[in-house]
Amino acid sequence: MKIGGPYYDKLRRGQPKPWYLSRSTERKNPDGSSVIGTNGKALRQRQRTYYESKSLATADIPRIRAQQEETGSSGYVLNRKAAEEYEIAKKITGENSLVEVAKFWRLHHPATPKAKLGELLPGFLKDLESRVEKGRHVDDRTSRLGAFLRAGYDGRYPETVTRANVLDYVKGIADVAPRTRRNHKTAIVEFFNWLVEKQYLLVNPASGIRKRHLPKEKKQEIRFLKLDQVERYLRAAERYDPKMVPHEIVQLIAGVRADDEMAKFRAEMVLPETREVLVPSEVAKTEEREVIENLEESFWAWWKAYGPKEGLLRPKYYDPRWYRLRVLSQVADQKAADELARLPIKTLLAREDSKTAMGRWPWNARRRTFCTYHVAKYQSADKTALLLRHRGSPYTLHNSYRGLGVTQAQGVAYFNILPKPCRRPIRPERPERGIIVQQRSPSLP
């Protein structure tokens, strides 16, 4: 603080207090921080205090300086009520600075209305959908971020969320694998990056969370379908839902990616005339046109038996139909499987033994199964890598799929599984309802 004077104000000649002291102090924001100008320096403001005489003004200079040193302000003196409030506040806050407490309060109670996280999430999802189209990625972000907001962050302002908050939330998710925790963290980082991009935030609080801050991820061995499981699964598809067959053999015998490409895969992409499978850029995960050549003869046999001429390979209500096949393929007794196949899909999947069977299906099973048996058949990953459109080293691929206990003979047998169409596929039967049930009920005496 700079104090100038005393000065005589000629405009106040003849008035009671013509003498004044001039003070220069930093201009402050409501939160106590300095107001910064365009040049990057703190702005200052001038104040005047008037006195009856020059001697009174001079005598007050030490008091002003002492008050500035004691309170940080030369113009504010605690009255009795303010002093009482100060004492009560200090008892509540303990050793915490009242300035920091006031900043925290203002942060959570802004002077002007602002959007909360729950109000901002729909905008993020809409923007995401416009860039990646509606699909698995959007569904994943909707689910994970919805869980995050339901954990108490729905009504929070973006700037009130700290790195510690995000880390505590991710580490506190119960009964999930370490990789799942990392996926939740990634979704939150993506959301807050968007908030920074849209200028709702200056800094992403979650961006500093590293892999080392989360529970260690243990690498798991590759899981795939055994040879008998593959055959039972394909026979179940033929017997219980033939329209699912082309969708499944494109993955099991041609190695097309499941989640990234099958949702848009069309029959027109299979080219029997040139013995190729075309994955156009708008479908391929790499966003570049890819061609799969040198496919096994068994693939063309299956395609001839079941491949449609045109349209999407993925049939309507795909998920429940796929789950149904997974369950039925694990029932060893054919007669029992046929009886279960007649149940409505919801009824079948609600059974406890069905839930257990569902849990046995390995992650990314179809592509990994294809890769396992293809490497085994040819005893080299070079050809497999070409079919898979694998961008890494073939050695890396071969190293991943060796030592899994699959012999070359089993690899040959896998690609010798041929179609056996079923004359009368067994489909779910609708339960009888309403008037039909009443008519078939025995009449009362």
Instruction: Specify if 88 maps to a domain.
Output: no
DSSP character at residue 419: -
Query: ∠124-214-143 over CA atoms, to 5°?
Result: 30
CA distances from 240 to 39, 253, 306 (A): 75, 20, 14
Query: ∠360-365-367 over CA atoms, to 5°?
Result: 175
The closest of 254, 272, 263 to 318, measured between CA atoms, is 263
The structure tokens listed for 180 are 């799942």
List the domain range (segments joined by +) for residue 206: 117-213
**What is the C-alpha separation between 145 and 376, in angstroms, rounded?**
42
The pTM assigned to this predicted structure is: 0.61
203 plus 268 within the same structural domain: no
**408: domain CATH number?**
1.10.443
Instruction: Specify if 63 maps to a domain.
Output: yes
Which of residues 168, 185, 213 is at a domain's end? 213
Find tokens 């509540």 and name the residue: 92
Q: Is 255 exposed, middle or buried (0-12, 13-18, 19+ CB in 10 A)?
A: buried
294 plus 326 within the same structural domain: yes
242 plus 209 within the same structural domain: no
Each of the 445 residues of the chain gets a pLDDT tens digit; together they read 678 888 888 888 888 888 888 887 777 776 556 778 777 787 888 888 888 889 998 988 888 777 766 555 544 445 566 667 777 877 787 877 777 776 676 666 665 568 899 999 999 999 998 887 656 788 889 999 999 999 999 999 888 899 899 999 998 888 888 888 889 999 999 999 999 998 888 889 888 787 777 777 677 778 899 999 999 999 999 999 999 999 999 999 998 988 778 989 999 999 999 999 999 988 888 788 889 888 999 999 999 999 999 999 999 999 999 999 999 999 999 999 999 999 999 999 999 999 999 988 988 899 899 989 998 998 877 778 777 776 666 666 766 777 788 899 999 999 999 999 999 999 998 765 655 444 444 433 3
**Pairing state of beta strands 2-8 and 19-26?**
antiparallel
Question: What single letter denotes the amino acid at residue 209?
Answer: I
Instruction: Specify if 427 maps to a domain.
Output: no
pLDDT of residue 74: 47
**What is the C-alpha separation between 120 and 197, in angstroms, rounded?**
13
Coil, strand or helix at 28 = strand
152 plus 182 within the same structural domain: yes
47 plus 141 within the same structural domain: no
Q: Residue 246, by phi and psi: left (phi above 0), alpha (psi -120 to 50) or beta? A: alpha
385 plus 256 within the same structural domain: yes
The closest of 263, 287, 254 to 388, measured between CA atoms, is 254
CA distances from 157 to 26, 108, 113, 115, 400 (A): 30, 7, 10, 7, 46
**What is the C-alpha separation between 402 and 380, in angstroms, rounded?**
10
For 172, residues 6+ apart whose C-beta sits below 8 A from its C-beta are none
50 plus 157 within the same structural domain: no
**What is the C-alpha separation between 317 and 319, in angstroms, rounded?**
6
The closest of 255, 227, 219 to 400, measured between CA atoms, is 219
Q: What is the DSSP string of 324-351?
A: HHHHHTT---HHHHHHHHTS-HHHHHHS
Q: What is the DSSP string of 383-402?
A: HHHHHHT--S-HHHHHHHHS
**What distance lies between CA 84 and its chain's CA centroid?**
50
**What is the C-alpha separation between 205 and 11, in angstroms, rounded?**
56
Domain count for the chain: 3
264 plus 352 within the same structural domain: yes
27 plus 62 within the same structural domain: yes
**What is the C-alpha separation between 166 and 188, in angstroms, rounded?**
8
* Helical H segments across 198-265, by residue range: 227-240, 245-252
Instruction: Specify if 84 maps to a domain.
Output: no
Instruction: Specify if 428 maps to a domain.
Output: no
**What distance lies between CA 317 and its chain's CA centroid?**
24
Instruction: Specify if 338 maps to a domain.
Output: yes
287 plus 188 within the same structural domain: no
Instruction: Specify if 109 maps to a domain.
Output: no
**What is the C-alpha separation between 40 and 189, in angstroms, rounded?**
31
129 plus 176 within the same structural domain: yes
Q: What is the DSSP string of 80-131?
A: HHHHHHHHHHHHHHTTS-HHHHHHHHHHHS-SS----HHHHHHHHHHHHHHH
> How many helices (DSSP H) and strands (DSSP E) are in the chain?
19, 6
pLDDT of residue 438: 46
**179: domain CATH number?**
1.10.150
pLDDT of residue 133: 63
pLDDT of residue 117: 94
274 plus 405 within the same structural domain: yes
**What is the C-alpha separation between 107 and 98, in angstroms, rounded?**
14
Q: What is the DSSP string of 58-88?
A: HHHHHHHHHHHHHHS-SS----HHHHHHHHH
Instruction: Specify if 423 maps to a domain.
Output: no
